[in-house]
């Protein structure tokens, strides 16, 4: 058998080392979330607790809470009725989200019978005013806890902004100023962050996305992701 010249053999050796190194990088980079505990718990129902609010806007808790049911139901879970849950807490003297989040998981399971509870924290909520623009930003974190064992099954976070489509008015400086004025007027008479909260909450709780919630038993995609 003919031997390869030394330079050619060295070149093939270096290529083989590089390929092995790249393969190793590909298999170890950006590992996905571990869903073993989630799958073992196999939750059927979710109790959504009133979100903690770290923003200065008092309406943030109610706004984000109002957007949670749809993505969770579409993911295939039974969601405990928000109004019923809120009234039950109120009847038991719990109206502050911070107090509700301190209730032991086992106690929540005894009261509501849900498999899991969703704990949400609002990191940002509100409009920031700039010279020629005003932007509504909502950012939230969430964790799903098994009420039967107290184990954490999943965590996630998401953000949304009213300026994601850009701020190009197409009319030069005058157009930008007019657009900014209109946006500031609208923001001053309405909660501009509420629709943005809907986008952020859907991104946070929609199933099937990378590192997102798994589909629940009422979804046709159950056990397929």
Q: Domain ranges in the chain?
A: 31-205
Comparing 203 with 25, which gets the higher pLDDT? Answer: 203
What is the average pLDDT across 131-138? 77
Q: Select 31-205's CATH number: 3.10.450.350, 3.30.499.10, 3.40.50.10610, 1.10.10.60.
A: 3.40.50.10610
Does 52 have pLDDT greater than 50? Answer: yes
> Count of residues for the chain?
225
Place of tokens 């809470």: 65
Asked if the model's pLDDT at residue 201 lies above 80, the reply is yes
Given pLDDT bands bounded at 50, 70 and 90, which one contains residue 191?
confident
What integer pLDDT is reported at residue 156 of this predicted model?
A: 97
Rounded-to-integer distance, Cα 138 and Cα 193, Å: 7
* More confident of the two residues 169 and 105: 105
Task: Please return the burial class of 108, using the count of CB atoms within 10 Å of its CB with bins 0-12, 13-18 and 19+.
Answer: buried
What tokens appear for 63 in the block? Answer: 């706004």
Higher pLDDT, 134 or 13: 134
Average pLDDT taken over every residue of the chain? 82
Residue 14 banded pLDDT, cuts 50, 70, 90 = very low
């Amino acid at each position: 058998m003919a031997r390869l010249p030394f330079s050619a053999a060295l070149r093939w050796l270096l290529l083989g080392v590089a390929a092995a190194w790249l393969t190793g990088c590909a298999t170890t980079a950006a590992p996905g979330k571990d869903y073993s505990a989630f799958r073992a718990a196999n939750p059927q129902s979710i109790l959504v607790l009133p979100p903690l609010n770290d923003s200065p806007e008092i309406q943030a808790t109610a706004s984000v809470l109002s957007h949670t049911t749809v993505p969770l139901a579409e993911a295939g879970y039974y969601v405990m009725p928000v109004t019923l849950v809120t009234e039950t807490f109120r009847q038991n003297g719990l109206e502050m989200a911070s107090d509700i989040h301190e209730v032991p998981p086992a106690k929540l399971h005894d009261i509501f019978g849900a498999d899991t509870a969703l704990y949400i924290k609002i990191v940002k909520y509100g409009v920031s005013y700039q010279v020629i623009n005003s932007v509504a930003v909502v950012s939230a974190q969430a964790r799903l806890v098994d009420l039967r064992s107290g184990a954490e099954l999943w965590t996630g976070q998401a953000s949304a902004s009213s300026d994601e489509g850009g701020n190009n008015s197409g009319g030069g400086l005058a157009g930008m100023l007019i657009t900014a004025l209109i946006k500031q007027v609208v923001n001053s008479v309405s909660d501009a962050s509420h629709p943005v909260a809907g986008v952020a909450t859907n991104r946070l709780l929609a199933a099937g996305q990378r590192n997102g919630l798994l589909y629940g038993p009422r979804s046709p995609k159950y056990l397929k992701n």
